[in-house]
């Protein structure tokens, strides 16, 4: 009988954020039992010459899984399944599928695993031995849990554990309890999870006293997982106590892999208590074990945690050494999570040293990997770091972009964190109620033995329960009140920020006008040299561009706040379109661009100035980015049901890349293409189109044909009433 320690990618890093650690506890709990091998006497209904073959092959599969060679193991299992199905060996099929489900779980293919085990569930129920069916249901529950279907997971757990056969393997009973605890952890039902973990440990200790059938390493894992959950709840002293129990067991059986994880986890809890020196001592012990056993994935995790701790102690040289070693190891192995986290760590150290170019390179590398892996917490920190780097480098516009991105992501993270905090509070109440229930049972037994104290004890328990509920409700009320107050403060801060931005932009316009006028006068001076005149021209053009941006921002802000609901009137779309075309013919002629029109007559209820601005911005953009001697088309149509009017601007420019499409309508977004005749671009055009189209009740879409041009379509309802 074997158990794996349940190593997952999520276990590699020490983050104190609430979301990441829940995933760690959940997955480690669920993986705890799934490394169980099949007992030799479980292969039934086979010929004598068949039994050794399948037993040998399944043993080799278990060995490959232990070595992490899951792909090779899967190939063998798929071949065995073909043989078993062709010869109708129904007794061995459930064992093959159960092992195949284990590999699906390890590889993160949870939905595939669910479908695979559900397909053969009837076969398992009909032909599998009691132990195999029990294990089969546990693995199916594991896969359902990891695919987000906790109700079905609990159904299969209950089917397996409520009425187990008399001869069921003790390790399977123990594994079922630990798996059930993991499911409750994933649902943020921490009180139930703690209770079941403790029940599993008590069961293991009882069986150890009687028969010593449950492996020590499995009990160590249960203590370890309970410690992770207590750490999640910030009950660090209790977490450390559980990790120490796991360390004692793993030390007695020389389980280096388990010890290295224990040392890493107990170090995290000491970090939670700000005991960094003690944490580093445990991490260095983990490093020594992982180096001896060549456990490089775990070693990367240890190095990262050491780097993080030394950084908090401002020991930047030591911190950089560990981040760099972990980064190099991850790069050599192609281990992307290791590269991502340690690139962020290296970037933060370079920033502290004032080496901003190096910091920028590593931060961008970390951000690219975080984007592809949807790691929200890390993306928030990277965006914050990039904003600081650009600010320190005096690149304030780019710093502002990253700061805005940070605020958006941080709001999403804060919302998720609030939800989990609420679940933690509820779990705390449930845990208190659970403890009260346990106290009640103990007191009832005591009262049964001592009848004289019965009435007194009932009264005492009732008072304790009422006080516990009252205190819980009071804490819950205060927590909600604090959250609401913080939300109101954030709203006020956002309003103040918007007002401050408007004031700054507005106040910049007058000084800029003075600068512009001074430059105009200097350029008329007859005594300036040609070089001086060129420099003045550059300054003049820059001041004009800045002036256009400021005016554009103020105009966009005005239009954004303008109320137009009572200004809608019916207008002839062909008149608006032709007016825009006439106004831009001179601009198009400078590049010998032909404006082709296909306009249907139509009357639409709209706000004409906004519609005129939308079409003007789109047509102007098309001319600006189209090559010389090309054609730009403006086409209008009605939808088939004649409920909407569509205007399309079609050009033969460079089009939009996939990256462009994700940010085309953002404010001040820099796209990949450049104007073809050196024209200026403020980055406000498409943002204004999107904003005004939405105010008119319409939609705007881009049909790109990169790199041969693009089609931008705006659709508006004919009657806003």
Q: Where are the domains of the chain?
A: 40-158, 410-488, 569-717
Per-residue tokens: 721: 């009433």
Q: Is the pTM of this model over 0.95?
A: no
Which pLDDT value is given to residue 21? 35
- Are 112 and 124 in contact by the 8 Å Cβ rule? The answer is no
- Are 666 and 687 in contact by the 8 Å Cβ rule? The answer is yes
Collapsing DSSP states into helix, strand and coil, what is residue 354? coil
Burial 435-451 (b: 16+ CB within 10 A, else e): ebeeebeebeeebeeee
Q: Report, as ranges of residue numbers, the positions in the chain whose pLDDT lies below 70.
A: 1-51, 68, 165, 208-213, 373-375, 409-451, 494-510, 512-513, 516, 545-549, 551-557, 683, 704-707, 720-721
> pLDDT for 3-55, tens place per residue?
223 333 223 333 323 223 333 333 433 333 333 333 333 333 444 445 678 88
Q: What is the mean pLDDT of the chain?
A: 79
The secondary structure of residue 519, as a DSSP letter, is H
Q: Residue 294 to residues 233, 288, 661: CA-CA distances in angstroms?
A: 33, 10, 45
Q: What distance, in Å, lies between the first and last C-alpha atoms of the chain?
A: 73
> pLDDT for 605-646, tens place per residue?
888 888 898 888 888 888 888 889 999 999 999 888 888 899
Per-residue tokens: 518: 């001074």
Which pLDDT value is given to residue 18? 29
How would you classify the pairing of strands 603-606 and 644-651?
unpaired
Which pLDDT value is given to residue 355? 92
- One of 3.40.50.720, 3.40.50.620, 1.10.4080.10, 3.30.565.10 is the CATH number of 569-717, namely 3.30.565.10
- β-bridge mates for residue 650, sequence order: 633, 711
Handedness of CA 137, 138, 140, 141 (dihedral sign): positive
Which pLDDT value is given to residue 494? 61
CATH no. of 40-158? 1.25.40.10
Q: Residue 176 to residues 103, 187, 196, 202: CA-CA distances in angstroms?
A: 18, 17, 10, 14
How would you classify the pairing of strands 710-717 and 631-638?
unpaired
- Are 636 and 618 in contact by the 8 Å Cβ rule? The answer is no
Sorted by sequence, the CB contacts under 8 Å of residue 103 that are 6+ apart come out as 65, 70, 73, 74, 77
Which pLDDT value is given to residue 15? 31
Per-residue tokens: 93: 């099929």
Which pLDDT value is given to residue 481? 83
Is residue 645 reached through a cis peptide bond, with omega within 30 degrees of 0 on the bond before it?
no
- Are 618 and 597 in contact by the 8 Å Cβ rule? The answer is no
Max Cα-Cα span within the chain = 114
Which pLDDT value is given to residue 295? 80
For tokens 């445990």, what's the residue? Answer: 282
């Amino acid at each position: 009988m074997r158990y794996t320690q349940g190593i997952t990618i999520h276990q590699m890093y020490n983050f104190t954020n609430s979301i990441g650690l829940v995933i760690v506890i959940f997955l480690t709990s669920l993986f705890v039992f799934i490394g169980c091998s099949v007992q030799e006497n479980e292969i039934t209904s086979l010929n004598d010459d068949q039994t050794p073959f399948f037993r040998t092959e399944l043993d080799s599969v278990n060995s490959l899984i232990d070595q992490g060679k899951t792909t090779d193991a899967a190939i063998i299992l798929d071949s065995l399944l073909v043989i078993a199905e062709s010869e109708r060996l129904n007794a061995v099929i459930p064992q093959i599928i159960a092992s195949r489900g284990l590999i699906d779980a390890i590889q993160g293919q949870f939905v595939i695993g669910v479908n695979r085990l559900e397909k053969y569930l009837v076969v398992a129920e009909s032909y599998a031995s009691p132990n195999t069916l029990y294990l089969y249901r546990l693995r199916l529950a594991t896969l359902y849990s990891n695919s987000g279907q906790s109700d079905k997971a609990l159904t299969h757990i209950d089917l397996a554990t409520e009425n187990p056969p008399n001869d069921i393997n003790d390790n399977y009973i123990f594994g079922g309890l630990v798996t059930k605890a993991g499911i409750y952890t994933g649902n943020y039902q921490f009180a139930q999870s703690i209770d079941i973990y403790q029940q599993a440990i008590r069961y293991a200790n009882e069986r150890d006293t009687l028969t010593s059938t449950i492996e020590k390493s499995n009990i160590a894992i249960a203590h370890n997982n309970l410690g992770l959950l207590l750490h999640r709840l910030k009950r660090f002293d209790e977490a450390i106590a559980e990790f120490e129990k796991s360390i004692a067991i793993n030390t007695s059986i020389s389980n280096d892999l388990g010890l290295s994880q224990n040392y890493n986890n107990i170090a995290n809890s000491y970090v939670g208590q700000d005991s960094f020196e003690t944490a580093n001592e445990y991490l260095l012990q983990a490093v020594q074990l992982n180096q001896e056993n060549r456990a490089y994935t775990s070693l990367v995790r240890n190095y990262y945690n050491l780097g993080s701790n030394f950084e908090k102690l401002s020991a930047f040289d030591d911190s950089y050494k560990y981040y760099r070693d972990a980064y190099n190891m991850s790069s050599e192995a192609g281990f992307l999570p290791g590269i991502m986290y340690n690139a962020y760590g290296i970037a933060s150290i370079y920033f502290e040293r004032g080496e901003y170019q190096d910091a920028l390179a590593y931060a961008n590398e970390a951000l690219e990997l975080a984007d592809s892996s949807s790691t929200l917490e890390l993306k928030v920190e990277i965006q914050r770091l990039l904003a600081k780097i650009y600010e320190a480098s005096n690149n304030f516009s780019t710093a502002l972009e990253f700061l805005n991105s940070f605020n958006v992501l941080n709001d999403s993270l804060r919302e998720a964190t609030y939800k989990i905090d609420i679940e933690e509070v509820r779990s705390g109440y449930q845990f208190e109620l659970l403890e009260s229930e346990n106290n009640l049972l103990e007191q009832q037994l005591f009262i049964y033995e001592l009848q004289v104290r019965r009435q007194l004890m009932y009264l005492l328990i009732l008072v304790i329960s009422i006080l516990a509920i009252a205190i819980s409700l009071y804490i819950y009320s205060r927590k909600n009140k604090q959250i609401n107050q913080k939300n109101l403060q954030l709203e006020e801060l956002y309003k103040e920020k918007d007002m401050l931005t408007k004031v700054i932009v507005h106040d910049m316009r007058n000084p800029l006008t003075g600068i512009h006028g001074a430059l105009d006068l200097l350029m008329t001076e007859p005594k300036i040299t040609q070089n001086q005149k060129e420099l003045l021209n550059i300054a003049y053009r820059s001041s004009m561009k800045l002036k256009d941006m400021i005016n554009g921002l103020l105009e966009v802000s005005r239009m954004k706040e303008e109320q137009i609901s009572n200004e809608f009137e019916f207008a002839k779309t062909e008149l608006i379109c032709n007016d825009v075309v006439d106004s831009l013919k001179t601009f198009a002629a400078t590049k010998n661009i032909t404006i082709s029109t296909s306009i249907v007559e139509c009357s639409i209820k709209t706000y004409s100035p906004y519609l005129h601005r939308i079409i003007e911005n789109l047509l102007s953009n098309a001319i600006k980015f189209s090559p010389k001697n090309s054609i730009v088309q403006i086409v209008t149509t009605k939808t088939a049901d004649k409920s909407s009017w569509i205007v399309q601007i079609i050009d033969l420019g460079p089009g939009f890349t996939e990256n462009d499409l994700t940010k085309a309508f953002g404010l001040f977004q820099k796209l990949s293409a450049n104007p073809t005749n050196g024209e200026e671009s403020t980055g406000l055009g498409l943002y204004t189109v999107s904003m005004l189209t939405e105010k008119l009740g319409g939609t705007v879409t881009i049909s790109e044909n990169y790199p041969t041009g693009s089609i931008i379509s705006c659709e508006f309802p004919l009657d806003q009433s």
